[in-house]
Chains A and B, each alone.
Chain A
Amino acid sequence: AQSVAQPEDQVKVAEGNPLTVKCTYSVSGNPYLFWYVQYPNRGLQFLLKYITGDNLVKGSYGFEAEFNKSQTSFHLKKPSALVSDSALYFCAVRAVRYGGSQGNLIFGKGTKLSVKP
């Protein structure tokens, strides 16, 4: 069965410092990986996705994520955090099974990012 783990409930960083939000996954086929952000009382907003190719994926608002197959990880990163980045971040995975059929999108439990001025 496929699953996603976000090992940190909360990440705190100072504004201007780099940030990392961790995500590891478990799938039986090839993984398609996604990051979404959720602001208070808002729906999820798409940040970026990894499909294939370059392991470093660039997304919205200066975020990027690095796919590491050997470590089954897809950590979200940003070189310089902003106070406005404070939100709830969700990692999600969809497995493509051998034969091409797709699985559902499975979300992690989320990581709260707090950026202090």
Chain B
Amino acid sequence: EAGVAQSPRYKIIEKRQSVAFWCNPISGHATLYWYQQILGQGPKLLIQFQNNGVVDDSQLPKDRFSAERLKGVDSTLKIQPAKLEDSAVYLCASSSQPGAQETQYFGPGTRLLVL
């Protein structure tokens, strides 16, 4: 089965510019996550979707970050305007059903460098 797809793989922008990332989860997976992984740290959850609804966005910096999953499949994460501290790897993950026992499957990530 195909894994989680993400694009682009790398992005370099200047501060105050905007950027968007795309994620296509594993087919049939209703739950989708976006994580931010800063160098030297573990991934930190930004937002969780269940189908096209937001379950948890408590750690999403909503003044500059936004995410959507309009049709309950693909998702986009946007940063506008970007700051230097947004330099990180943005990981998308999906799972077939939410729950404490769920296994999340991760995409390769998008590495963002903000200059």
A interface residues (Cβ-Cβ under 8 A, vs B): 4, 32, 34, 36, 41-46, 49, 51, 90, 92, 94, 96, 102, 104-105, 107-110
Q: Is the CB of A109 within 8 A of B42?
A: yes
Q: Could you tell me the distance between the alpha carbons of A109 and B39 in the complex, rounded to whole angstroms?
A: 10
Closest CB-CB distance, B73 to chain A, in whole Å?
19
Closest CB-CB distance, B103 to chain A, in whole Å?
5
Q: Is the CB of B42 within 8 A of A107?
A: yes
Q: Is the CB of A109 within 8 A of B99?
A: no
B60 CB–A CB distance under 8 Å: no
B interface residues (Cβ-Cβ under 8 A, vs A): 4, 6, 40-45, 48, 56, 91, 93, 98-101, 103-109, 111
Q: Is the CB of B103 within 8 A of A44?
A: no
Residue from the list B40, B44, B103, B106 in contact with A43, Cβ < 8 A: B106
**Residues in B whose Cβ lies below 8 Å from that of A107:** 42-44
Q: Is the CB of A41 within 8 A of B103?
A: no
Q: Is the CB of A32 within 8 A of B101?
A: yes
16 intermolecular pairs with C-beta atoms under 8 Å apart: A43-B4, A43-B107, A44-B43, A44-B93, A46-B103, A49-B103, A51-B101, A92-B42, A94-B100, A104-B45, A104-B48, A104-B56, A105-B45, A107-B43, A108-B42, A109-B41
CB closest residue in chain B, given A103: B100
Q: A92-B42, A104-B45, A105-B45 are in contact. Are A32 and B100 (CB under 8 A)?
A: yes
CB closest residue in chain A, given B111: A41
CB closest residue in chain B, given A39: B108
Q: Could you tell me the distance between the alpha carbons of A112 and B41 in the complex, rounded to whole angstroms?
A: 12
Closest CB-CB distance, B113 to chain A, in whole Å?
14
CB closest residue in chain A, given B48: A104
Closest CB-CB distance, B27 to chain A, in whole Å?
17
Q: A44-B43, A107-B42 are in contact. Are A102 and B107 (CB under 8 A)?
A: no
